[in-house]
Amino acid sequence: MVEIKTDATLLAMRESGRVVAQALAAVRDKAAPGMTLVELDGVAREVLAEARAGSPFLGYHPDWAPVPFPAVVCLSVNDAIVHGVPGTTRLADGDLLSVDCGAVLGGWVGDAAVSFTVGRARPEDTRLIDTAYEALEAGIAAAVVGNRVGDIAHAIGRVCRRAGYGIPDGLGGHGVGRSMHEDPGIPNEGRPGRGMPLRHGMVIAIEPMLTGGGSDDHYTARDGWTIRTVDGSRAAHTEHTVAITDEGPRVLTAL
């Protein structure tokens, strides 16, 4: 069931989205060679605590996961696509880092992700990351009243496939509200004109995930959470929480 939010709720969700944006900016600012992933998780925790916001990630335990998620951010490095668990691994110069963060404020959830290079960037990584952001912008542009979920999926998929990148099977966006994952699902590839119609007051997370090697295949690592590319190629992940309004898409997790 899709919950249609009121205009007052959209304003409240903007506040939770703002906290997410601040946490992502803080993590990006501190990410440097030699920094451990658990230290970066601490950076995000400080931002949430200062805003008196909760984390929808910490303790999250879906049926398929062996243990609850132990952190407030997912930190996915290089061939990790999504759901990377922060640990004692130290970042190295040239690592591609994807950071996914959520916040709960006033009972409403915000959810967003960024990808960037730590230190010196490889040209192929820069292109991959740039394409992920281009796909995100294309998906947002398609999130208008009168379109359908398939129009968003098609916009994202066309950007990714045109660049020669893979789109991991079964991974994509979702509705957002009082829970982090709500209806409808937002695939990263699909046919235009298909799926649920988009209405004023719907709030969705649009989140392209791209694999540099062009394969859609992935596997779950031994920690039961981290999803990695089968071919070992690097991946990028971008995301915004977006409100669909009569005035056009409104990004709730922008800084």
Say whether pLDDT at 110 is over 90. Answer: yes
Per-residue CA distances from 56 to 71, 72, 74, 190 (Å): 10, 8, 11, 28
Say whether pLDDT at 29 is over 90. Answer: yes
249 φ/ψ angles, rounded to the nearest 5 degrees: -65, 140
Looking at residue 19, its pLDDT comes to: 98
Say whether pLDDT at 1 is over 90. Answer: no
User: Which residues have CB under 8 Å from 14's CB, separation 6+?
Assistant: 250, 252
pLDDT tens, position by position, 2-28: 999 999 999 999 999 999 999 999 999
**Mean pLDDT (whole number) for 209-217:** 98
pLDDT tens, position by position, 135-181: 999 999 999 999 999 999 999 999 999 999 999 999 999 999 999 99
Looking at residue 42, its pLDDT comes to: 98
Task: Please give the model's pTM, rounded to 2 decimal places.
Answer: 0.97
Looking at residue 20, its pLDDT comes to: 98
In three-state secondary structure terms, 251 is: strand
Q: What angle is formed at CA 182 by the lines to CA 179 and CA 186, rounded to 5 degrees?
A: 135
DSSP per-residue string spanning 15-28: HHHHHHHHHHHHHH
